[in-house]
Chain A
């Protein structure tokens, strides 16, 4: 479990975002900052943060909409709004007037309990299964590439992407997703051969490293 509280700051103004991050770090917090409500929603759903500090007027998705989406999905961690206007919405734990009074923020952050994390159970059997499966898919990918079976290649990318994402192998998941999208596009197979070969080597080495 982390020793310091984690705060997610959603603020579109560059200067304000940097200032808030610095202030929260000075208060002993670990910070992550995002520039709009859309990123605030997807980032908050990682459930890594003890507190979400949200501006109201932001592009892509405003703070009020973002908060409502999170609450609708059962997000029960504290969300503090920052606004120059009066915001009366029970979805926010508190509304801080802008400009934010740093002492008020410090008091609030201190009063907010740190979330006790629950570790993910990832037993050896499951890890072994993941890499065995990856090595098998690597062989199938090579065969499909030799045979020019585009749809099979796409299906294998999809499987690798899903498994890698579950296990937190972000680079592998992103590569598989990118190639899957390319294979779904209208691009001729000749143009995708190089990407496929690169991916084939990547997954083979990935599987071998963890054999």
Chain B
């Protein structure tokens, strides 16, 4: 199974680290189909866009409030570039308007902070459900 790339976009360092630690814990506990992921970090929208183009991610965790742009605007750009990319929006304060706008812009799911194990697991399982795992190409010596 190909190792999926996860892009974590949040200006708060420990929020990204918390997400990464918990996704790794889910794989260690064998609660996910994938056994490994590669992670990329972005602390603002411009850095996220650069990484998005250089290391196209399969899954993005995207905070709705970023220092240099709205997360919703960034979501639209991501979906324009690669409509198949799975984006989980994250918000500290959920309002119906945020949820509606995220759905309209193509978000696959919406996580309301504070994080919980169940929220992260639900998002990861949804990602695995909606994306077909790619078979590994074996290199025979």
Please list the residues of chain A having a beta carbon within 8 angstroms of any beta carbon in chain B. Answer: 38, 41-42, 45-48, 60-61, 69, 72-76, 115, 117-123, 126, 129-130, 133, 155, 158-159, 161-163, 165-170, 173, 177
Contact present for A41 and B15 (CB under 8 Å): no
Contact present for B17 and A47 (CB under 8 Å): no
Contact present for A166 and B114 (CB under 8 Å): yes
Contact present for B94 and A159 (CB under 8 Å): no
Residue of A46, A118, A133 contacting most chain B CB atoms (<10 Å):
A118
Contact present for B115 and A166 (CB under 8 Å): yes
A47 to B126, CA, bound (A): 14
How many of chain B's residues have a CB under 8 angstroms from any CB in A? 45
0 or 1 for each of B105-141: is its CB under 8 Å from A? (1 = yes): 0011111111111111111001001100000000000
Within 8 Å of chain A (Cβ to Cβ): is B13?
yes
Contact present for B22 and A121 (CB under 8 Å): yes
Q: Which residues of A contact B17 (CB under 8 A)?
A: 126, 129
A55 to B118, CA, bound (A): 25
Q: Which residues of B contact A118 (CB under 8 A)?
A: 26, 29, 31, 117-118, 120-121
A11 to B109, CA, bound (A): 25
Question: Distance in Å from the Cβ of A52 to the closest Cβ of chain B?
Answer: 14
A117 interface neighbour in B15, B63, B67, B118, Cβ under 8 Å:
B118
User: Could you list 4 further interchain pairs (A-B, Cβ under 8 angstroms) beyond the known A42-B94, A123-B21?
Assistant: A38-B96, A133-B13, A162-B11, A162-B15
Q: Top 9 nearest A-B pairs by Cβ distance?
A: A165-B92, A118-B117, A168-B114, A74-B126, A165-B113, A38-B96, A162-B12, A47-B118, A166-B15
Q: Which residues of A contact B96 (CB under 8 A)?
A: 38, 41-42, 60-61
A33 to B117, CA, bound (A): 23
Q: Which residues of B contact A69 (CB under 8 A)?
A: 99-100, 103
Select from chain A the residue with minimum beta-carbon distance to B100.
A69
Known contacts A120-B115, A126-B14; decide if A73 and B67 are in contact (CB<8 Å): no
A148 to B119, CA, bound (A): 40
Known contacts A69-B99, A159-B11; decide if A45 and B111 are in contact (CB<8 Å): yes
A117 to B10, CA, bound (A): 25
Contact present for A130 and B14 (CB under 8 Å): yes
Q: Which residues of B contact A168 (CB under 8 A)?
A: 114
Q: Which residues of A contact B123 (CB under 8 A)?
A: 74
